[in-house]
Structure 1
């Protein structure tokens, strides 16, 4: 099944593959005919001592010509096979990368980033070896073996028949090696994936590792995984040492004894042709040379097949982001009216209610209104935003925008009309302009500058050496957290969304910067339906509706003043924050 799927990638290249195969057959023919010319020289000229200069010249020039032709044709077919192989791997990497981008966030929640990177890079690299160095070699050697058997049968059918018996023995050897090595390679690929995951985790959190003096713990954990990989690699080496060369050499020795015995018994009955003896021994040696090569490549084949299984596991993962399946044109978001109707959600998809993160959430956010979500950590605030962005499908209930089910909107419409500012300000490698525009065709350079000015980010941008062309490193490490968040504000506003989702958007902004962007936030919310998730209650006091979540349920709702009068959970949270703000934890 895996091999069939891999070979399906060759379909677009069948013409080039056909030409390469024809050239391969010609190269094999030229290579196989060489020993026959040597046989003719031995039997017709050397043994009878008949040295006709014209015949010798023809044999010599023919042998040299065939050798040169074989070299040229083999060069062409090897280059052709490798070009096809590289194109196949190029397409396979595009397919898996594109599929990973369509996966739901739940996949990334449960799968270490390093493990996914390992499948996209290391595993596809192993598959590349199958197409680049294994497939071409395998096809060439199979054709070469067929040519050798044809030449053997043309000289002596009985002896060639004896040699044909070796094929089941060699195939049985390959089958045993494949069965034993598959388990070993699965362990190797798994441990390599865990190595990448641990490495990625330690590098991403290196500041915390060093600050908390966790170097020794991470070193020990890495060593445990590395040792498991080492043991699997040793098991693989033992298998290769037993099956690949020694076993084949043993079979070759028995075959050579068989050929020599055959000609020995033949010599007792009468004279034998030295040329035929030479040709058979030469072909026998040439027969086992590709067999040895294929046995050596068999380890790469096994690694590639195991790697392909892991890659196809990702490609077969159907947990993709939900998209509209309606044949009708996608509706448009015009007003921005949001309605949650009895929405229940569980991250594990269970319907038993025991692991529900949200439980029958219902509210309406009218066009132009700001609805704030507050609550303790784990109450389900960010989950509401994730469901609205359609990162996860609801377990039960329904989400409507302008009276239309969320599932009916196209990805383009939803992503372009709903703007998200996440708690973690993520920036891509590039420059300031690229990070704000994100290659959106509707966002011009002027839109980028206007958006930066709108959120009051142009002040610090103008001070940068290259302004809007200032390069940004990975995750914007050269900028402060507040500056990164301002760029994310500008990025969202450059798209001019109708609905705004602020997921603790000021969490990474210091108090001084926060005061400076409150005016920008007010402008951003004006004319837009806004869902604001907040930890600092001071930032959402002017919200039209505040929903207080607790254990996945809305326990209070109202304006800031109304909730304070109720003296419930919101009042308690507000008084705690006021007390924290007014008192110092470290009095002099």
Structure 2
């Protein structure tokens, strides 16, 4: 990841992260309140049980008083309390978990919505696998916080408070002694949080790197295999996986030291303290067996929720770290350019003008320098130049994928910043060199779920670009399934489908980014016919790879290192015998050589 995105790795304060997570729970406060009341009721029912047994032992069993009615009330009361506790705990757990799942659903929608609003400059630099990891793995960890941790923490904290209330009811002095345990447990928790946060942060980052490497390997598997890069990719994957494993192992060792063993040791010491107290007390006065039973019972019940919380503390730490990564992404301000001003202009003619436009991707090196040109309605402007000359950057700025550093871009005399996204995207049609098709079928790839485009419009658009013929020959026609990225179709077929998708929206401006560069000569002829029809009556800007395809362009701009070095028609540029002339001669020689090779 480059320097500009390093802040996405900086941990957020855990208190701030937790506060933001609680904010997501606010809209659900009614159900959480009901769950909390049920929790209090269930906890109270559990805690009253030992007191009933203490009353039975000290008031009836020890003095051998067996009043049937009183014993019956105690027995029925104990059973009723147990059943009530089970019912209330079931429903409070159900409500807590239902609310937790709804909160995570909202969080995932929020982060995905934010990602969709980020500018292309962000996606140019941030690894796709790492991004997927934050939206899926990290939010899954946050879900565990709500489902497995917060409900348990709330329940056990309420239970601990109840235990101490019951202890004070039985013996104030001994209960005060037991209060000393709390600071020790809190210290252990803080130590655990301090060390585990480092390990879990490292684990999450290494998991993101694993996903990034996996995504890169799968997408580039053809290149990996053809250049025999399997061993290198395997070594790099193993290295990252080993680092992830080591971070996990550190956390496991920490868990083994500061979680259950430490609490078990404290619980044994507390039990020794209680038994010693009753043993010393028995030397001077009789000990009530029921009080002893109840106190030991409560002590045992005290450490069970503490153990549960300690065991979930690791989940809590992982969730907080993951939530911090999610919130850092949600706070990222590298947004896509948006409309400015209150006016609502519309694109009526499609006239385009660049005025002294300068642009840089990284803020350091300009890829476009003082670019100026004008394309009138219905004209075709071709952009040519060597790789890295700035052709695609002009297209990216026209589509408003990036913000301009200096200068102005106008459509119909209005600055591009004043158009709404809906107006701009609906009036500009973009066809890329490598067309992207979505999983679904051909009809949905042309319509893209736009309700204003009917099935008749889909067929008409396909006929217009000469795609209808090959689609009709497919087994299911327009219902033919499309695999990931349209891998089951040839490059020419994918390109024709993308043409149909663009023409179904009838744009005022057509932008072609080397639309014929990746197709064979025979398919190119068919595509050129489709392009000729598409360009009629529309303002067109085309990046040309093959100069023979732009001979009839109204204007041709020759770019070199981000600057316009030549400007004119095909004939005018050949007469100048400059860079365009050299490029044309080189291509003509290559094409003639190719023809000779094919004939031989």
Runs of 4+ off more than 2 Å: 584-588
Query: Among 77, 93, 99, which residue is 1:78 paired with?
Result: 93
Determine if the alignment matches structure 1 residue 193 to structure 2 residue 208: yes
Alignment partner, residue 492 of structure 2:
482
TM-score (norm 1): 0.98
Structure 2: how far apart are the matches of 1:173 and 1:233? Answer: 20
Structure 1: how far apart are the matches of 2:81 and 2:58? Answer: 20
Choose 58-67 or 367-376, whichever is displaced more. 58-67
Structure 1: how far apart are the matches of 2:540 and 2:115? Answer: 30
- Offset of residue 338 of structure 1: 0.7
Query: Among 499, 516, 533, which residue is 2:526 paired with?
Result: 516
Q: 1:374 is paired with a residue of what secondary structure?
A: strand
Structure 2: how far apart are the matches of 1:265 and 1:2? Answer: 49
Contact 1:485–1:508 under 8 Å retained in 2: no
Contact 1:556–1:563 under 8 Å retained in 2: yes
The within-5 A match list for 1:386-465 is 386-465=396-475
Alignment partner, residue 46 of structure 1:
61
Deviations 1:152-199 (A, max 9, x none): 111111111111121111111101100100010010000000000001
Structure 1: how far apart are the matches of 2:131 and 2:493? Answer: 30
Structure 2 segments unaligned to the other structure (5+ residues): 1-15
Q: 2:283 is paired with a residue of what secondary structure?
A: helix
Structure 2: how far apart are the matches of 1:325 and 1:333? Answer: 16
Alignment partner, residue 146 of structure 1:
161
Alignment partner, residue 22 of structure 2:
7
Contact 1:245–1:295 under 8 Å retained in 2: yes
Contact 1:366–1:529 under 8 Å retained in 2: yes
Contact 2:467–2:496 under 8 Å retained in 1: yes
Query: Among 117, 121, 141, which residue is 1:126 paired with?
Result: 141
Choose 439-448 or 365-374, whichever is displaced more. 439-448
Query: Among 214, 218, 234, which residue is 2:233 paired with?
Result: 218
Alignment partner, residue 349 of structure 1:
363
Query: Among 494, 498, 503, which residue is 2:508 paired with?
Result: 498
- Offset of residue 517 of structure 1: 2.1
The within-5 A match list for 1:154-303 is 154-303=169-318
- Offset of residue 441 of structure 1: 2.6
Query: Among 333, 336, 342, which residue is 2:350 paired with?
Result: 336
Query: Among 560, 568, 573, which residue is 2:578 paired with?
Result: 568
- Offset of residue 586 of structure 1: 6.2
Deviations 1:54-74 (A, max 9, x none): 222111111111111111111
Alignment partner, residue 36 of structure 1:
51
Determine if the alignment matches structure 1 residue 94 to structure 2 residue 109: yes
- Offset of residue 349 of structure 1: 2.5
Structure 2: how far apart are the matches of 1:267 and 1:43? Answer: 16
Alignment partner, residue 373 of structure 1:
383
Instruction: Give the total of aligned pairs.
Output: 583
Contact 1:188–1:232 under 8 Å retained in 2: yes
- Offset of residue 539 of structure 1: 1.2
Q: 1:269 is paired with a residue of what secondary structure?
A: coil
Structure 1: how far apart are the matches of 2:475 and 2:126? Answer: 40
Structure 2: how far apart are the matches of 1:219 and 1:238? Answer: 28
Structure 2: how far apart are the matches of 1:453 and 1:534? Answer: 25
Deviations 1:14-42 (A, max 9, x none): 11111111111101110111111111111
Contact 2:366–2:562 under 8 Å retained in 1: yes
Contact 2:384–2:545 under 8 Å retained in 1: yes
Deviations 1:473-515 (A, max 9, x none): 1111111111011111110111111111101111222211111
Alignment partner, residue 578 of structure 1:
588
- Offset of residue 49 of structure 1: 1.5
